Amino acid sequence: MLFIHNVTKEFGGLRAIYNLSFQVQERQIKALIGPNGAGKTTLLNLVSGLDKVTVGKVLFEGNDLTKLRPHEICRKGVGRTFQIPHLFSQMGLVENVKVGCFCRTTSGFLRLALHSEFTMKEEADVESKSNDILQFLGFAPADRRVARELSGGDQKLLEIARALGTSPKLLLLDEPGAGLNSLEKQRLAGTIRKLRDEWGMTILIVEHDVALVMSLSDEIVVLNYGEKIAEGSPEEIQNDHKVIKAYLGRKSENSLC
């Protein structure tokens, strides 16, 4: 479904990603791990269109994403969350998710200006869709808080809710577990699995919590200094020497055993 093809990204003299290639199959949960500065968030930015590749192609369901702008990429079915929540801080929970849903509505300007019946129905649909999404992620239905007032963990969940509003086929999650305690992380893992199993979504997740990644992903890609050093199933990655040396640490030191 998603093909990263020989992608290189340079910021002036700094090479953030070099000759990276991998695939994400449909309905797969694929993780991207690596030390800080390895280029993981940069890759997500390239896929979602916030940055332009220097060399290479990003193909999604046959579409070349490297030529498209962020909002066009979103409409093709790619949603994302941000490492530091980029919420609409002064809006409430439902409003944030609604903004995500708007890209799937079709009322034109004239209908909106005249508050036509079609528009009113669309707005009602958006409202109920947003409430359903919020409930799915565990928010109370009558939660009237403003996005700014949420805890860090809740903000990350709201980010995911908003991205779900865009009805994505591929979901890019940038460190969704950061700021969550272990109970919340378990619930997050369950939610992500449900998104794939029940909603049919494909997920590319960047994470630092190794345990979470190992238990959740079908396949893992490991980056170090912008280059792929390993790709494979969680078992293969755990036993890969290069990965252990660069990132996981010796078996006795990491949290897996």
Partner 1 sequence: MIIRRIHVGLILIVLLVWLFPIHLQSIMVIATIYSIITIGLNILIGNLGQISLGHAAFYGIGAYASALLTTKLSFPFWISMPLSGMIAGGFGLLVGLTAIRLRLGYLAIGTAAFNIMFEVVTQQWETLTGGVGGFRGIPAPHLGPLAFDSDFKYFCLSFGVFVALFQLSKNILSSRIGYVLSAIKQNEVASSTMGINVNKFKLFFFTLSAFYGGIAGSLLAHYLKFLDPQSFSIVFSVNLLFMCSIGGSGYLWGGIVGALFITLFPEGLSFLAKMSFLPNAVRGLLNEYAYHLMIYGVILYLITAYMPQGMAKFLGGIRISQILKKEKDL
Smallest gap from residue 80 Cβ to partner 1 (A):
6
When the beta carbons of 80 and 228 are compared against partner 1, the nearer one is 80
When the beta carbons of 172 and 243 are compared against partner 1, the nearer one is 172
Q: Could you list the residues that contact partner 1 (CB under 8 A)?
A: 48-50, 69-71, 73-75, 79-80, 82, 86-91, 95, 98-100, 102-105, 107, 109, 112-115, 119, 123, 126-127, 162-163, 165-166
Phi, psi of 215 (to 5 degrees): -80, -25
Of 12, 14, 83, 32, which is closest to residue 205 (Cα–Cα)? 32
The per-residue b/e assignment along 13-25, b for 16 or more CB within 10 angstroms, e otherwise, is eebbbbebebebe
Smallest gap from residue 190 Cβ to partner 1 (A):
25
Smallest gap from residue 79 Cβ to partner 1 (A):
8
When the beta carbons of 36 and 106 are compared against partner 1, the nearer one is 106
* DSSP characters over 53-119: -SEEEEEETTEEGGGS-HHHHHHHTEEE--SS----TTSBHHHHHHHHHGGG----HHHHHHT-HHH
Smallest gap from residue 114 Cβ to partner 1 (A):
7
When the beta carbons of 48 and 238 are compared against partner 1, the nearer one is 48
